[in-house]
Amino acid sequence: MSQLLKVTDLCKSFAGQGVVKSVSFDVNESTTLGIVGESGSGKTSLVRSILRAIDPDSGSVRYNSREGWQNLNELSAKALLPLRREIQMIFQDPFASLNPRMTVQAILEEPLIIHGLGDKSWRKQRVAEILEKVQLDASSASRFPHAFSGGQRQRVGIARALILEPRLVVCDESVSALDVSVQAQILDLLASLQSELGLTYLFVAHDLRVVREFCDDVLVMYAGSIVEQGPVAEIFENPQHDYTRLLLSAIPSPDPDEKLEPLDREGLLLE
């Protein structure tokens, strides 16, 4: 399996406060890496630094593009543009992430226009193809976001991310705002798209149940640092760090015999 992403000593601070502290990890192609932690642990700042949606302070983000290895952190905005086709993002809020005044056709063809791809009729055909891929009706193209449910909107968000045929897709809490049964449908869709298109996912989530089901490997973040990383089965069956144990113990079990205990934060070291 070939490597797609190699993050080394990535740091980011806001107003002197370190939010990502020397984070390093690798991601293999066509796998899913889960990034978990509480709010404030730095998971969103981490993925945004990788995407250069914000500029990291130091460290390198080496990405194995179709043209070979590149350090995203060293590229100018202009040099980064062609790589943006390969790296896309699916956002958390299916209501806030779609422009209410644009039709689904306009929303989905905008990335194609930005990257100067095809003519009008080709783009229309491409939108129809991608709608079919995310299991939305072809007639959806002429409608506005308000006409869709949360789950359908998230399908539009997925279609927008995939229309440029990316290789790396960052999902930032992409199923957190959805009901449990809609969540299951969207996860099924993401999984089948991954096996069909060979996608690599960075999957940010605070719900460990979802991560356990969906990811191959997982990073556990606490106060800006990785406290534990490894294959999902390993981390969940045999957590080594106190913080990982705390996170796992907080998951409410649907078995009434497994009682939730008050969490014990004592002994957790804040570095």
Please give the residue ranges that form the binding site for another protein (CB under 8 A): 38-39, 150, 179-184, 187, 206-210, 212-214, 246-247, 249-256, 258-263
Cα 76 to Cα 21: distance, rounded to the nearest angstrom: 23
Residue 65 β-bridge partners: 68
CB of 94 to another protein, least distance (A): 13
CB of 184 to another protein, least distance (A): 5
Is the CB of 110 or the CB of 207 nearer to another protein?
Answer: 207
Neighbour-count burial for 163-175, b at 16+ CB within 10 Å, e otherwise: bbebbbbbbbbbb
Task: With beta carbons less than 8 A apart as the criterion, state whether 246 and 263 touch.
Answer: yes
Is the CB of 86 or the CB of 173 nearer to another protein?
Answer: 173
Amino acid at 75: L
CB of 40 to another protein, least distance (A): 8
Task: With beta carbons less than 8 A apart as the criterion, state whether 241 and 57 touch.
Answer: no
Cα 216 to Cα 233: distance, rounded to the nearest angstrom: 8
CB of 76 to another protein, least distance (A): 37
Cα 89 to Cα 233: distance, rounded to the nearest angstrom: 26
Cα 201 to Cα 148: distance, rounded to the nearest angstrom: 25
CB of 211 to another protein, least distance (A): 9
Is the CB of 71 or the CB of 253 nearer to another protein?
Answer: 253
Burial class (CB in 10 A: 0-12, 13-18, 19+), 267: exposed
Is the CB of 9 or the CB of 264 nearer to another protein?
Answer: 264
Is the CB of 52 or the CB of 245 nearer to another protein?
Answer: 245
CB of 112 to another protein, least distance (A): 33
Is the CB of 43 or the CB of 123 nearer to another protein?
Answer: 43
